Amino acid sequence: MASIRGVTFLFLKEVGTKMNEVVLKDTRNRSAGNHSQKETPGIVQKKRMNREDLIVKSILFLCAMVSILTTIGIVAVLLVETLSFFKDVSLFSFLTDTKWTPLFKPEHFGILSLLSGSLLITVGASLVALPLGLMAAIYLSEYADDRVRRVIKPILEVLAGIPTIVYGYFALTFVTPLLRVIFPDMGVFNALSASIVVGIMILPMVASLSEDAMVSVPKSLRNGAYALGATRLEVARKVVVPAAFSGIISSFVLAISRAIGETMIVTIAAGATPKLTLNPLESVQTMTAYIVQVSLGDIQHGSIEYKTIFAVGMTLFVLTFLINLIAQWLKRRFKEEY
């Protein structure tokens, strides 16, 4: 917030000085005009651009501000409703209660049940997507020849554009029956199927972004390693991946954040039973799926049930924020600049 205010301040200050300059120049020109004859056209032209520049700059700045202001607005709403939620429910019971039953008596508000659901899905999805995505990226950037890459890369990007609702049906009607062949006791709604499909959903993102990061590692570094007798795998593991590390981490974080925030797949395939469990074969409810459930129901505005979705939303927000912080730290810690 402080930085945003700082930026705004700087901007206003700059606008101020620019305005002054323009005004000053105008008066100077006018006063000069009295003495000299006409304006001299030619090499040294007067700074006509100033005002135009300023207008363009202001418009662009406003465009940039839209997203910042939206974020501020969202955070503000979340904050207000969350604070009001915590007037009714103590933070302690929110964080330690193991049951989440805000919609029926006796009411419990233990976020852990939803958190474990989200965690289960996210960890499962990451286990699928991060290693596979990274390996796919290594294949594309280090092994595949140009023709193969030119075919696969666009396909990956198409995969990233499939609506999540489609993935949801895919999980429920294809993956789940398949899994039930292996685990006959597993219910129709379960965390496993959902997390696998969420993993499949975020995989192209990991692969594509990691590949971008790897391709931009200079060829000279690869040549240096090959000339020392490194194999392709050694070049990939010891030169390319470390040099592209910060880009790879960014792709991981984006993917994990998407997995946490993923709503449709888990709503459809993971079920609607908040449960403190780490067993992927059980039906769970994630934070996002809970928000969907409540938003679709006829909940009275301002009631405690209504406020829960903001508290849950806030928790989600804090979680993704934390992941971003960790990623920043990781990037700084292991950065190899070229």
Partner 1 sequence: MSIIQMKNVDLYYDKHHALKNISGEIKERSITALIGPSGCGKSTFLRSLNRMNDMIQGVRIEGEILVADQNIYHADVNVENLRKNIGMVFQQPNPFPKSIYDNVAFGMRIHGMRDRKELDEVVEQSLKAAALWDEVKDILKKPAYGLSGGQQQRLCIARALAVHPQILLMDEPTSALDPISTAKIEELIGELRKQYTIVIVTHNMQQAARISDDTAFFLQGEIIEFDTTEKIFHAPSDQRTEDYIAGRFG
- Residues at the site binding partner 1, with contacts judged by CB under 8 A: 145-146, 218, 220-221, 223-231, 234, 238-239, 242-243, 336-338
Count the neighbouring beta carbons within 10 Å of the beta carbon of residue 232: 14
Query: Least CB distance from residue 220 to partner 1, whole Å?
Result: 4
Query: Least CB distance from residue 209 to partner 1, whole Å?
Result: 20
For partner 1, which is the closer residue by CB, 16 or 224?
A: 224
For partner 1, which is the closer residue by CB, 52 or 145?
A: 145
For partner 1, which is the closer residue by CB, 11 or 226?
A: 226
Query: Least CB distance from residue 70 to partner 1, whole Å?
Result: 38
**Core vs surface per residue 127-154: b (16+ CB within 10 A) or e:** ebbbeebbebbbbbbbebeeeebeebbe
Query: Least CB distance from residue 228 to partner 1, whole Å?
Result: 4
Query: Least CB distance from residue 235 to partner 1, whole Å?
Result: 9
Helix axes 49-88, 2-35, angle to 10 degrees: 160
Cβ–Cβ < 8 Å for 95, 89: no
Helix (H, G, I), strand (E, B) or coil at 318: helix
For partner 1, which is the closer residue by CB, 131 or 218?
A: 218
Instruction: Outline where the chain has alpha helix (H).
Output: 2-35, 49-88, 91-96, 111-138, 146-159, 164-170, 176-182, 191-215, 219-227, 232-234, 241-243, 245-261, 264-269, 287-296, 304-334
| Partners of 170 in beta bridges | none
For partner 1, which is the closer residue by CB, 71 or 216?
A: 216
Query: Least CB distance from residue 154 to partner 1, whole Å?
Result: 20
Closest CA to 256 of 71, 119, 112: 119
Cβ–Cβ < 8 Å for 130, 241: no
Query: Least CB distance from residue 221 to partner 1, whole Å?
Result: 6
Apex 160 CA angle, 71 and 206, nearest 5: 80
Cβ–Cβ < 8 Å for 209, 250: yes
For partner 1, which is the closer residue by CB, 218 or 302?
A: 218
For partner 1, which is the closer residue by CB, 236 or 314?
A: 236
For partner 1, which is the closer residue by CB, 160 or 225?
A: 225
Query: Least CB distance from residue 253 to partner 1, whole Å?
Result: 21
CA–CA distance, 6 with 1 (Å, rounded to integer)? 8
Cβ–Cβ < 8 Å for 91, 307: no
